[in-house]
Amino acid sequence: MPVRRGAAAAWSIITERMFRALTATLGAVVRLAFLGTGSAFSLERYNGAVVVDGRILLDAGAPLLPHMHRLGIDPLGIDVIFLSHFHGGHVLGLPPYLLHRGMNGGRALQVVGPPGVEAKLEQLNLLAWGEDWGAFRGRIDLSFEEAGASGEAAGVHYEAVPLDHGSQECRGYRLHLGGRVLAYAGDTTVTPPLDRLVDGAAVVITEATAPEPSAVHTSWGEAEALAARHPRTRFLFNHVFAGRPPMGAVQDLQVLDV
């Protein structure tokens, strides 16, 4: 009965689209696809990257392309990338991803990041692709923005908060989506700027690297205490090195409607 199956599939697509449009209007649902949820040298998890509603990428830990493909996310559908900082676990998925964009064209792509974002990514891609990078670069409608205190990128209003992460310039982002705030931290210690980043947010994605305290990361105990200080906020912990934090953590390739 191919006709009926085709009709059912078409109806399913229509109702799914209607549901997404309605909930987006109401601000009820944001779809988060966790491509990776591990710290840089985790043996158990991939490096961190999150796709929001199929069009916003939060950090770019490797690998991006096969994980987008597995989750049915169109790599050409990304409009804007927010980078928290330039450690390898957060940017090394970009050279293959940008090569894909260069080979396939598509819509404009904006990259928002800490100071020096354009020079850093040019360095990274020159290292990866040598002289060939120039040709690929020319085929992408690519622009860069150093994150100010607030701004707008690809129609997304954001605030950026400098976070404490050792010697790195690190930015957390508060994205205003459908009347709610989604806060994303990247890597950080638990200092007052992190509390400012998450204050009043509906959903927070932030790190919980290991049980032990660290000079540059958030421990499991600190993560639990942070969540306790903001009881009205939903916390999604990532950047886990190994094991299972007692307060839970998101998993590689997990998709959540929040």
What residue ranges bind Zn ion (CB under 5 A)? 87, 187
| Per-residue burial over 69-87, b = 16 or more CB atoms within 10 Å of its CB, e = otherwise | eeeebebeebbbbbbbbbb
> How big is the chain, counted in residues?
258
Query: Nearer Cβ to Zn ion, position 101 or 165?
Result: 165
Which CB atom, from 73 or from 147, has the smaller least distance to Zn ion? 147
**DSSP secondary structure string for all residues of 94-116:** HHHHHHHHHHH--S-EEEEESTT
Which amino acid is residue 172, in one-letter code? G
Q: How far is the CB of 218 from Zn ion (least distance, A)?
A: 11
Q: Which is nearer to Zn ion, 48 or 63 (CB)?
A: 48
Min dist. Cβ of residue 232 to Zn ion (A): 28
Query: In what order do the strands lie in the sheet containing 150-153?
Result: 150-153, 156-165, 168-177, 180-184, 203-207, 234-238
Distance of alpha carbon 100 from alpha carbon 22, whole angstroms:
32
- Please tell me the distance from the alpha carbon of residue 236 to that of residue 101, in angstroms, as a whole number: 29
Q: Tell me 77's DSSP state.
A: G
Nearer to Zn ion, 79 or 187 (CB): 187
With respect to Zn ion, which residue has the nearer C-beta, 181 or 190? 190
User: What residues contact residue 201 under an 8 Å CB cut-off, 6+ apart?
Assistant: 174, 180, 181, 182, 183, 230, 233
Cβ 209 to Zn ion, closest distance in Å? 10
Question: Which residues are CB-neighbours of 119 under 8 A, at least 6 positions away?
Answer: none
Question: Rounded to the nearest whole angstrom, what is the least distance from the CB of residue 48 to Zn ion in the complex?
Answer: 9
3-class state of residue 207 by DSSP: strand
The distance of closest approach from Cβ of residue 239 to Zn ion in the complex, given in angstroms and rounded to an integer, is 8
**Residue 125 or 218 with smaller CB distance to Zn ion:** 218
Q: Please identify, using beta-carbon distances, which residue of 53 and 169 lies nearer to Zn ion.
A: 169
Minimum Å gap between C-beta 85 and Zn ion is 6
Provide the token pair at 71. Answer: 């989750």
